[in-house]
Amino acid sequence: MLLDSKQKIGLFSICLYSVFFIIFMQIHLMSGIISGLLTYTLMQKLENFLSIKMHRWGHKAKLFSVLLLSIIFMSVLIGGFGYLFNWIIGVARAPQQTLSHIQNLFNSISTSLPPAVGKYLPDNLIELRDNALNFIKEHVLYLQSIIKQLFHSLLIIIIGMIIGLIAGYQQNKRSINETTEPTTIYMQAFKDSLNCLVEVFQYVAFSQVIISLFNTLMTAIFLLIVLPIFGIHLPFSKTLILATFVLGLIPIVGNLIVNTIMFLVAFTVSFWIAVIVLLYLVAIHKLEYILNAKIVGTKIHAGICELLIAMVFCETLFGVIGLIFAPMFYAFIKLSLKKLKII
């Protein structure tokens, strides 16, 4: 099949976006891209909602949407850092109480472990503290690099949010002052690819919300129904369920964090309970991959096997970051080709 000029330019735009996509994955800037797309999408949705509810405001609704989103994001960031700072201050003010909690937790874990494993643990809290200090001294450069990377990622996310706010406001401003001047075919192709990327991001974000709800429901059934039937009660069950939903909105990484927390909490009860929880979590997250492929595949008319193969392929090439963004990358390419009527 011969391609016309519009399809050729559109295909070039897709290739260009794909190259940038791969480069951003390699240099670890995808967190900024996702935060920017999220901010841009939320701003468009909020602006559409405000333009309907407050039609008298006209273009002022767009400025209001920027201010509202800015306040929300800044409140979340300030609130999160404030909570973390207060927690650190609370620990520093009551060191003996903190050490007592650590000692109780350490004793609980020691008694729940099999003897063959428990003999490798420190005998008391002082030995544990000395081992921890020695570990920090030996790996201080590595720990510094981790902290530096965390702050770098946070900065990239904030910059992405700011760019998303600016891009959303400029897009809304252009739609107000829209003129009849024709757009070049190249610029139109780039705009179409961007709109396609935003559309795919909405599909993936919706999929992640559904997956988080599914994971939360299954975790609630497991913690509140299945385990109590056998006389097992995990501490902080309700908090763990809430954390499962909130952190589950972050693909892969959020699940790893909440799984680690849940495993450690189960460890305080029994070693074998922790093993059971771990096996359950592994089984649930394998189902999540299929559910993710099903939801996104339905939107772009792709089979589950297609997306699963794309996820495995990208994970092989780019690691965990490739696994996270594979559904979005594949969906963008296929939806763009469909709109160009190439496939």
- How confident is the model at residue 207, as a pLDDT? 81
Q: Where are the alpha helices (DSSP H) in 232-303?
A: 237-248, 253-267, 271-300
> If pLDDT is split at 50, 70 and 90, which confidence band does 125 have?
low
Q: Which of 201, 141, 243 is nearest to 335 (CA)?
A: 201
DSSP of 57-126: GTTHHHHHHHHHHHHHHHHHHHHHHHHHHHHHHHHHH-HHHHHHHHHHHHHHHHHHS-HHHHTTS-SSHH
Judge if pTM exceeds 0.85: no
> pLDDT per residue over 172-226, tens digit each?
666 555 554 566 788 888 888 888 888 888 888 888 888 888 888 988 898 888 8
Using the structure block, give the residue that is written with the tokens 């407050």.
54
Q: Which of 200, 202, 222 is nearest to 287 (CA)?
A: 222
CA distance 4 to 14: 15
CA distance 162 to 164: 5
Domain residue spans of the chain: 195-343
Using the structure block, give the residue that is written with the tokens 């207060």.
86
